[in-house]
Amino acid sequence: MMDNENDGELGRRELDPTFTRGYVHVAHLRDKLPWLYSLHPSVDSQKKLARALLVSQAQLSNWLNGTRYNDARTIAVVNPDSLPIKHYRSFLDIWGLPAEILEMQDLTEFCSAIKHFEGGRGAWDRLVRAVLDDECIEIISENSTRGLVDPDEEEEPGLPYFQVGEHVMIRVANLGFRHGIILEQDRNIWVTLRPNLRWRETELTGPMIFPRQQSDTPPRFARLEGPGLHRVFVVLTDKVLPASVLDLLMRRPVDIGSLNYAATFIQDRIAAGPGKCRLMSRRFLASNTASA
């Protein structure tokens, strides 16, 4: 005769969930996820969410369901519907939502709020959100011997980590495409790194590199400024984008209207078929404090 695995829990009193330091509790998080999946252009399942967070599905499931403890008389769950503080910023970044909306206590109000918020998104925001982190974008530090960093002390595990003031180089293989653009997002500000007013060329004959390298000279690096989460966004195309688009992208900073305008042309290239356009994105962290 098979034992019912729940027999041992009969008669036990289930305690209210408890929450500990180091986690952000999001009311009704498991109930909110289907709504979030339905509105995201690419993260539409728990498997894809785990990949976007750079964690295993088992780890994500443990955060959502909490850790279950029991003794002879009671059953308790610790930190259900919660995310470690270290991963919370990445979680918000995936959905592009303010914490105030995600953490709403009332589920009905939350569903109404995200519908209105999603309806107000521009073409550029929707384009960028659909592209997950890609290690094909190399972010290379001039100081390549920084020693070991304890992963438990990383501010945002899984993301490249640099110091403000550090010198870095961005390198992307052209993957067979003939033209390329590199943009960077620092908080809500976007700038185009390549092309720019001094270096307007988008044609690629090898890897796309920022800053511009000069022949017969040592490698050049750019000084990293601004603490917080940054994003490098790369657009590879088979043909050069229209001059009107490039002119707008070379404004510093690039205003949201110009980005939305550019997004419509990029979407047209993507819709034209494989080999016409490739998008890549990679986030990294810059900090004013040392990690070790």
| Token representation of residue 224 | 């990293």
Confidence of residue 3 (pLDDT cuts 50, 70, 90): very low
* Residue range 145-170, pLDDT digits in tens: 554 455 555 555 668 889 999 999 99
Q: SS3 of 64, please?
A: helix
Alpha carbon distance 137, 168 (integer Å): 12
- Interatomic CA distance for residues 228 and 213, integer angstroms: 27
Q: pTM, whole model, 2 decimals?
A: 0.72
Question: Which residues on neighbouring strands pair with residue 167, listed in sequence order?
Answer: 223
Joined together, the tokens standing for residue 86 give 């270290």
Report the C-alpha gap between 245 and 260 in whole angstroms. Answer: 10
Alpha helices, H only, the chain: 29-39, 46-53, 57-65, 85-95, 99-102, 107-119, 123-129, 243-249, 256-271
- Length of the chain, in residues: 292
Is residue 267 scored above 50 in pLDDT? Answer: yes
> Tens of pLDDT along 33-80?
999 998 888 899 999 999 989 899 999 999 999 998 887 788 889 999
Beta-bridge partner residues of 69 = 76
Tens digits of residue pLDDT in 188-204: 899 999 998 888 999 99
